[in-house]
């Protein structure tokens, strides 16, 4: 029983260490040795739980993708107006200067070159666009949003604003650029009231 708990604990530490290293260094910069050191686990433990670096990276990417979905879903929630739900998503707490742990993977050539590693990234971004599009469509159907808006295009704009905001913030070393992008998009989406 004790060794089973220790084994599961080592597996969790390896996944968490890999998640952090992928976010900080990317796939190439995340060596098995660095993972083992960060996890406080030996080589034998790593290869006992995972077939190698690609298998461990996939587990880490899947976990990161699942957490991003959960965080987005909490912000988007089932309650409130379409605008308020999108606003909650855009304004939710983020570590802006670190960037998006999923979005950053799209700039990693080794992740993009691997269909298996890319799959959870693609699925998550597709899910997010779809979830946002459904909320925008609710706003259009309810008369909250007006004009010639396409729900899927607006959803893509929301995702692009967040991801681009991360890039601008990292380039300037300040979250101000991210905040400005979010404020600009919210102003464009703000439901218009009659004068």
Domain membership flag for residue 128? yes
DSSP H/E element including 154: helix 151-172
Note down the domain range covering 130: 2-189
- How do residues 55-106 score in pLDDT, each as one tens digit? 999 999 999 999 999 999 999 998 899 999 999 999 999 999 999 999 999 9
Residue 195 in any domain: the answer is no
Q: What is the tally of structural domains in the chain?
A: 1
In a domain, residue 194? The reply is no
The tens digit of pLDDT for each residue in 135-150 reads 999 999 999 998 899 9
Residue 1 has pLDDT above 70, yes or no: no
| Listed residue (29, 177, 10, 33) closest to 105, CA to CA | 29
- What is the CB neighbour count within 10 angstroms for residue 152? 15
Q: Residue 42: which pLDDT band, with cuts at 50, 70 and 90?
A: confident
Q: Does residue 150 form part of some domain?
A: yes
Question: Which residue intervals of 2-149 are DSSP H helices?
Answer: 2-25, 32-39, 43-49, 53-76, 82-91, 109-113, 115-141
pLDDT at 192: 64
**Which domain CATH number covers 151?**
1.10.357.10
């Amino acid at each position: 029983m004790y060794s089973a708990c220790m084994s599961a604990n080592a597996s969790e530490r390896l996944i968490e260490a890999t998640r952090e290293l992928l976010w900080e260094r990317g796939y190439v910069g995340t060596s098995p040795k660095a993972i083992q050191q960060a996890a406080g686990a030996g080589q034998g433990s790593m290869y006992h739980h995972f077939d190698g670096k690609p298998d461990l990276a996939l587990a880490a990417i899947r976990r990161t993708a699942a957490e991003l979905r959960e965080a987005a879903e909490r912000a988007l929630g089932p309650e409130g107006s379409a605008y308020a739900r999108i606003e909650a998503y855009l304004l939710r707490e983020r570590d802006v200067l670190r960037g998006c742990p999923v979005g950053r993977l799209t700039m990693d050539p080794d992740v993009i070159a691997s269909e298996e590693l890319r799959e959870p990234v693609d699925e998550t971004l597709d899910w997010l666009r779809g979830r946002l599009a459904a909320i925008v469509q609710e706003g259009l159907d309810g008369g909250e949003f007006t004009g010639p808006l396409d729900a899927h295009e607006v959803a893509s704009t929301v995702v692009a604003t967040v991801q681009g905001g991360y890039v601008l913030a990292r380039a300037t070393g300040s979250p101000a650029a991210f905040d400005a992008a979010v404020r600009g998009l919210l102003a464009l989406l703000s439901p218009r009231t009659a004068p």
